[in-house]
Structure 1
Amino acid sequence: MDPTITIVVQGIAFFAVAWMVMKFGWPHIIAAIEDRQKKIAEGLAAAEKGEKSLAEAKNSANDIIKEAHARAAKIVEQANRRSVEMAEEARGVASAEAERLIAGARQEAALESTRAREELRRDAANLAVFGASKLLGREIDAKAHADLLDKLALEIERG
């Protein structure tokens, strides 16, 4: 066989196989490549979307943390303010109670002082009756001379 015929037959066979591959195989290969490119593009888009979502979630978490810190600070401030108010209120109540107790003690002291004066006046009147009876040499009836004794006690009390 002649080498020229072999080359021509091989050329025809090559072009026939190339044409069949281009006609029947190539569209499937191109479709597979395009499908693969599409999946890769979708994956990259999903990854980029995931990164954006992660960044948004971090920002949102930071905002929530800042808000929580602000709320906590506000609650602490309110608690401090309330404790100061409660302390002031307790001081006021204690002061009012102290004033009430002092007023009660003063009133009781005044009552006791009045009682002591009355007792002293009675004792002075009894001493005056006893002294007068010794001076007169006879016993004086305290009931009969009550007005006189009361006047005497008032004069003794005045000084």
Structure 2
Amino acid sequence: MNLGMTLLLQGIGFFIFLFVVYKFVLPPLADAVEGRRRQIADGLAEAEKGKASLAIAQKEVDKLIAEAKAKAADIVAQAEKQRNVTIEASKADAKAAGEREKQMAADEIAQLSVKAKEELRDRVADLAVAGAQRILKREINPQVHSDLLAQLKAEL
């Protein structure tokens, strides 16, 4: 074979190869590369959106945390206030109970005093009767003179 003819046939084969590659291989490969480039660009855009969303979400979280802290402080303040009200109410109840106990004790003392005075009157009446018996040297009958003795007790 002739060298010129070989080179010509190889050149024609090479151009056919280039035509086939350019027509059938490069377009799908270029489409795949372009699709991948778009996918990467979309991913980067989504990442930027995600960063922006994250920043917004962080601000919202900070705001919610601040609100929760404020609510917690309000709840603590209300609990302190309720505790103070409860303590004051308990003090008032204890004081009222103490006053009731004191009044009951005073009433009991008054009843015991009245009872003691009545017993003392009875004893004085008995002593008066005994003294009168000695003075008169005769016995006074308590049944007969019960009205007189009742009047004497009332005077004492």
Quote how far apart the aligned CAs of 1:124 are.
0.6
Q: Which residue in the other structure is 2:132 paired with?
A: 132
CA distance in 2, matches of 1:78, 1:140: 80
Unaligned 5+ segments in structure 2 are 1-7
- What are the equivalent positions in structure 2 for 1:134-153 lying under 5 Å apart? 134-153=134-153
Unaligned 5+ segments in structure 1 are 1-8
Quote how far apart the aligned CAs of 1:36 are.
4.2
CA distance in 2, matches of 1:21, 1:32: 18
CA distance in 1, matches of 2:29, 2:152: 142
Q: Which residue in the other structure is 1:72 paired with?
A: 72
- What are the equivalent positions in structure 2 for 1:8-157 lying under 5 Å apart? 20=19, 24=23, 27=27, 31-32=31-32, 34-155=34-155, 157=156
Specify the SS of the correspondent of 1:141: coil
CA distance in 2, matches of 1:109, 1:26: 119
CA distance in 2, matches of 1:47, 1:89: 61
Root-mean-square deviation (CA, aligned residues, Å) is 2.9
Q: Which amino acid aligns with 1:88?
A: E
Q: Could you tell which deviates more after superposition, 43-52 or 74-83? A: 74-83
Q: Deviations over 1:32-91 (max 9, x none)?
A: 554344233212201101101211221122122112212222221222222222222222
CA distance in 2, matches of 1:134, 1:23: 160
Q: Could you tell which deviates more after superposition, 96-105 or 28-37? A: 28-37
Moved over 6 A (4+): none
TM-score scaled by length of structure 1: 0.74
Q: Which amino acid aligns with 1:126?
A: D
Q: Could you tell which deviates more after superposition, 122-131 or 43-52? A: 43-52
Q: Which residue in the other structure is 2:4 paired with?
A: none
Q: Could you tell which deviates more after superposition, 114-123 or 25-34? A: 25-34
Q: Which residue in the other structure is 1:5 paired with?
A: none
Quote how far apart the aligned CAs of 1:27 are.
5.0
Quote how far apart the aligned CAs of 1:21 are.
8.9
CA distance in 2, matches of 1:36, 1:104: 97
